[in-house]
Amino acid sequence: MDNPVWENSNYEILAEIGEGAYGKVYKARETGEKQRLVAVKRLNIGADPDAGIPQFMIREVALLRKIGYFNHPNVVKLLDVSAGLRKPGLDLTLVFEYIDQDLSSFLSTAPEDGLGTDKIKDVMRQLLKGLDFLHTNTVMHRDLKPCNVLLSSRGEVKIADFGLARIYTNCIALTPCVVTLWYRAPEVLLHSSYMSSVDIWSAGCIFAELFLLKPLFQGYTEVQQLQKIFEVIGLPGKEDWPKESPIHYNPAWARRDVTTQLLPSLNAEENNLLNQCLAFNPAQRISAYRALAHPFLAGP
């Protein structure tokens, strides 16, 4: 707070609300006429200012500018960007609309008997509308998880944190080190090629979590995460295993029981949508657009 960078700022910092590998996020208030609350994300760039702004930071700002043009209600809005010198290095400051909480904190305070079906439908509809917008504009989020899904006091759902997001094409080289482990699609865990369907897998994990109030797959290594997944969805056929994966097919991962329901506590309609979101083969995974037309979400 005593940093001179803030002294000439257009924002009054009220509280620190988050911290990541590259900087901190603050709740702030505009000092001008509007006096609106904002979230200020301050990224710290290395000690050598001559090295410039890292590519991933430029990419995040460029993507936010691109999608911000459309002003989609289910994607967090970037309001301002500024860069400033400090000793040593640079600061890049991103200013976003302020949203009260994320889905993770919301779920942590949910009643023990769970969320109502109407609330689950509402959250998933908005989340999938945001994903459909991103995917239509060839943007993969690549790190969808409850703490990157914001939920306002008015019930608005907004996708946030585009630090790992990418524009995708048919021939892009993509890193396997994306998506927090518990929400990571099998093709990413298997170090195979992937597309926007990785976001649908993550959305399916979130869908299950809205019912369970806890993550569906909680592994602590990539292999353990795969085992957790196969315990629920079953081991896929060898023909569906990515040929380029360095991880070999292991029949020992097959679960003993055979069931058509992923989660016995869900009804047939809910399980059907979850099953299509969590299809092992990404080509068979439902799109955000089609998921919105699924009977569970399209109905009242």
Question: How many Cβ atoms sit within 10 Å of the Cβ of residue 2?
Answer: 5
Say if residues 99 and 27 touch (Cβ distance below 8 Å): no
77 annotated ligand-binding residue: no
Q: Name the active-site residue from 102, 132, 143, 199.
A: 143
Strand order across the 149-151 sheet = 101-102, 149-151, 157-159
Say if residues 21 and 12 touch (Cβ distance below 8 Å): no
Say if residues 184 and 191 touch (Cβ distance below 8 Å): no
The first and second tokens of residue 193, run together, are: 């090629």
Is residue 102 annotated as part of the catalytic site, yes or no? no
**Beta-strand pair 166-167/90-97:** unpaired
Say if residues 159 and 130 touch (Cβ distance below 8 Å): yes
Say if residues 61 and 53 touch (Cβ distance below 8 Å): no
Active site residues: 143
Give binding residues for ATP as ranges: 41
Give binding residues as ranges: 41
